[in-house]
A and B are shown apart, each in its own frame.
Chain A
Amino acid sequence: MTEFFHHTFGNGLTLVAEKMGGVRSAAFTLLIPAGAAQDPPGRGGVATMLVDLIFRGAGDRDSRQIMTDLDNLGLQRGEGVETVHTSLFAAVLADNLLPALELYADIVQRPHLPADEVDAVRALALQELQSIDDEPRQKIFIELRKRHYPYPFSRPTVGLSEVIESATHAELAEQHARGFRPTGAILGVAGDIDWPKLLDGVDRLFGGWAAGVSMPIEKGARGSRVDHIAQDAAQTQIGIAFNTVPYRHSEYFNAQGAVTVLSGGSSSRLFSEVREKRGLCYAVFATYHSLYDTGAVICYAGTTNERAQETLDVTMGEIRRLATTVEPAEVARAQAGLKASLIMQGESTSARSAAVAADWYHLGRVRSLSEMQAAIDSLSPKSIMDHLDRHPPSDFTIVTLGPKALEVGQPNN
């Protein structure tokens, strides 16, 4: 059986935990409200450099000692910049959870931020940008989000090359002092945990972290709705985004149901119509993505240049058809898929640590398995159609990348 716990400390940090049965590991996801959107105006890229620099020495350990100690704990980790958070993730055998958190307490609160390593961080960040340029499949998502979301949610989490080239040590140190604060931070933990011990440990390690002021996010303008990026490649990349309700909305499960009908499994509409019946491409899909107050469906298709127009037309046709009819059998399949995902996610401490942290951010609570199962059970063709009636796919952004622009028309008319 799973049990949930949470506690918000005086400095604003929330610890939210799920105790899972039948596992030997524990995982944590720390969300710090210092994402790409909170980079200083015109300085997109500072956060992505900072998340590398904080691991290069912290507390009484130098860079090498940190890496050695992380390895000796057998810790699997990943960190990165997201739209509104810097996210630090780690999974360990359950006995090593508190020792791992002890290391992360130093990394987050007391990094050395060595000035002589900024150039190495810079070189890596610039090379990552070059690699993305070499991978059209990655690039299209960045370019699509850049145009679909309003500023600063549109900022690429990998930063901008001109900022990375010019960022100074002082700027990174200032961003750390300003942004790496417990106010609004969320530590999600899942696995074989002992709640009283965990609470005590986190209090000891993070309770003294000095509160800061939350960094304001001011919404700005959106990019162009239809765009083409010329690039010589074997395939044309097609990115389509449209708006739907956010994760916290009462109709979220209907929105998720609709996306699953469109692109949940291989009998879903996009896969059947674009790939299976017409053989137009290898990869075509749509996924749901949510910011705090707006949700979006992000669609992708990659296909050889001669077939790109037909791929775009068929994909757009399927998106528009979604609002006109949803069959009972399609909803039953979507329900089976969503439920299986839920239960299988419940076998993974890593996935659950990220899920409880995200739930806390979006909802201020954790959705239990039974609540989600009930919501999925209650989906019907009518509930999904009614939802699509109230919130039809809207605000389309269409970006293509390849040798030749496609006929897109006026998607928002």
Chain B
Amino acid sequence: MKFEHKQLANGLEVIGEVNPDARSVAVGFLVRTGSRDETPDVNGVSHFLEHMVFKGTPRRSALDVNREFDEIGARYNAFTSEENTVFWGAVLPEYLPRLVDLMTDMLRPSLRGDDFDVEKKVILEEISMYQDQPMWSAYEGGMRAHFGVHPLGNSVLGSNESVGGLSCDQMRSYFDRRYVSGNMLVAVAGNVDWARFCELISSPVGAWPAGPPARAVAAAPGSGDVRVIPNHKIKQEHVVLMSSAPAAESHDRFAADVLTTAVGDGAGSRLFWELVDPGLAESAEMEYHEFNGAGMFMTYLCCEPDDAVANADRILKLYREVNTNNITDSELKQVKNKAAARIVLRSERPMGRLMPLGFNWLYRREYRTVDDDLQSLMSVTRDDVARVLAAHPLDRVTTVAVGPLETLSVETLRR
């Protein structure tokens, strides 16, 4: 594997990890823009715009875009998060030129009014679909409660009202500000001839307007609130507990990962033995989310409503125990073995390498091989984990419950 990097005159960076043994090649266009970059009146525009990028250009109709992806047998999709909008495609190497032509054209979309109107209906359907998914409601409610007025609390999808009221002109102006070369990154991974790829990509993306990366990053400590969103249509209680964690720029993210796996992995973790193995909860898992200038530990609990309070109590007691006594040496060893295998397994395919490659550059301007990540993981010590716990105690949680309960009075939440 070989790392390549090039910066074009307009400021756009292009990076690659070349693996001649791969059978496919994956290309990603990463835009540093998401719901945290939106004002309330255009909440949801980043995600809506992601859809509109597939709706055609002066050279292509929306149906042409779909058809051409299918003609080259591409696996492709896009996603929008709180802070990134990512478009990716993977093809057999012989189709790379057509993929590049299609995706570079697509990223200068026409944003036609009639397409905008049809797609708005699809977005409103997507919002309705997620409303029927309690885990999602709990996540969104949790983000809003935890981050409060900080823009990381913005909904990615937006609401029926914000999306319903959005105009095509508002979207065009958002596009002009955010989809500029200094705010975007092109990444390629897999079986690719780097020199040839640079030839293919430079002329279309070199013409994209220059512009700086723009995002105000303020501290995001988290509110510590407790909120209940009653929903009597569902039977289980879905609870999220959110607390602060190392930011994406911090080297402590490896220790945070180790801590998260030891405490809250889907199997074999503290939460698993405390809650899932004895059948007290269907799910009790912890994740680590990293953002620009902020981080978050998130625990998701799903159980019978009658058990929700006792289970949240168990979780907080467990977190205080970890705050005080740290994870054990044998947990540290077990987690490293588990996480190391995960890193290697997910890296076997170009599609699995593309996102780590792109995000390492986007957030930290660094190239990391699979072995670099293994090295960083293996060198995490209990002291590193203790440092994370001291800076980010696990029990300082914001709690949001979605389900049949009307109130959530967790004893241990009152400090």
Contacts and interface: CB of A to CB of B under 8 A. Distances in A.
B132 A136 contact: yes
B72 interface: yes
A389 interface: no
Contacts of B334: 68, 71-72
A309 interface: no
B225 interface: no
Contacts of A281: 122, 125
A71 B337 contact: yes
A348 B302 contact: no
Nearest to A23: B348
A272 B268 contact: no
Contacts of A283: 129
Contact of B92 (A120, A233, A266, A343): A343
Given A131-B236, A267-B66, A340-B73, A74 B348 contact: no
28 contacts: A22-B22, A74-B337, A76-B341, A77-B267, A119-B279, A127-B281, A128-B282, A130-B235, A232-B233, A234-B129, A234-B131, A235-B128, A264-B70, A265-B70, A267-B70, A279-B122, A282-B122, A282-B125, A283-B129, A333-B67, A336-B72, A336-B73, A339-B92, A340-B74, A340-B92, A347-B22, A347-B348, A348-B348
A268 B280 contact: no
A301 to B, nearest CB: 10
Contacts of B276: 124
A407 to B, nearest CB: 21
Contact of A233 (B118, B125, B126, B132): B132
B348 A24 contact: yes
A115 to B, nearest CB: 14
A324 B291 CA distance: 52
Given A120-B279, A124-B279, A127-B302, A67 B131 contact: no
Given A134-B236, A267-B67, A275-B122, A75 B341 contact: yes
Majority secondary structure, B binding face: helix
Contact of B66 (A74, A272, A280): A272
Contacts of B73: 333, 335-341
A323 interface: no
A346 B235 contact: no
Contacts of A64: 273
B70 A266 contact: yes
Interface string B271-309: 011001111111000000000000000000011100000
3 A-B pairs with the lowest CB-CB distances in the bound complex, closest first: A74-B341, A123-B279, A340-B73
A148 to B, nearest CB: 23
Interface string B113-154: 000001111111110110111100000000000000000000
Contact of A93 (B278, B279, B341): B341
Interface string A210-243: 0000000000000000000000111100000000
A304 interface: yes
Nearest to B333: A72
B5 interface: no
A70 interface: yes
B294 to A, nearest CB: 29
Interface string A248-279: 00000000000000001111100110011111
Interface of A: 21-25, 56, 63-64, 67-68, 70-77, 91-93, 96, 119-124, 127-128, 130-131, 133-137, 232-235, 264-268, 271-272, 275-283, 302-304, 329, 332-333, 335-341, 343-344, 346-350
B349 interface: yes
B132 A137 contact: yes
A413 to B, nearest CB: 31
B9 interface: no
The interface centre, meaning the residue of B22, B118, B123 with most chain A CB atoms within 10 A of its CB, is: B118
A276 B70 CA distance: 15
Nearest to A96: B341
Given A344-B75, A350-B345, 10 more contacts: A23-B348, A93-B341, A119-B279, A135-B133, A279-B119, A279-B125, A333-B73, A344-B24, A344-B349, A348-B349
B45 to A, nearest CB: 17
B340 interface: yes
Q: Give the one of B63, B91, B344, B345 with max A CB within 10 A.
A: B345
A342 to B, nearest CB: 10
Interface in B198-241: 233-236
B338 interface: yes
Contacts of A77: 267
- Among A271, A281, A332, the most chain B Cβ lie within 10 Å of the Cβ of A281
A76 B66 contact: no
Contacts of B279: 119-124, 127
B368 interface: no
Contacts of A137: 129, 132-133
Nearest to A278: B118
Contacts of B383: none
Could you say which of B71, B75, B278, B342 has the most chain A C-beta atoms within 10 Å of its C-beta?
Answer: B71
Contact of A279 (B22, B121, B133, B341): B121
A134 B273 contact: no
Given A67-B268, A127-B236, A74 B128 contact: no
A133 B123 CA distance: 25
Contacts of B69: 265-267
B62 interface: yes
Contacts of B72: 336, 340
A124 B341 contact: no
Contacts of A232: 233
Nearest to B282: A127
B344 A93 contact: yes
B355 interface: no
A83 B235 CA distance: 27
Nearest to B118: A279
Nearest to B54: A266
Nearest to A268: B70
A266 B118 CA distance: 16
Contacts of A339: 73, 92
A283 to B, nearest CB: 7
A276 B91 contact: no
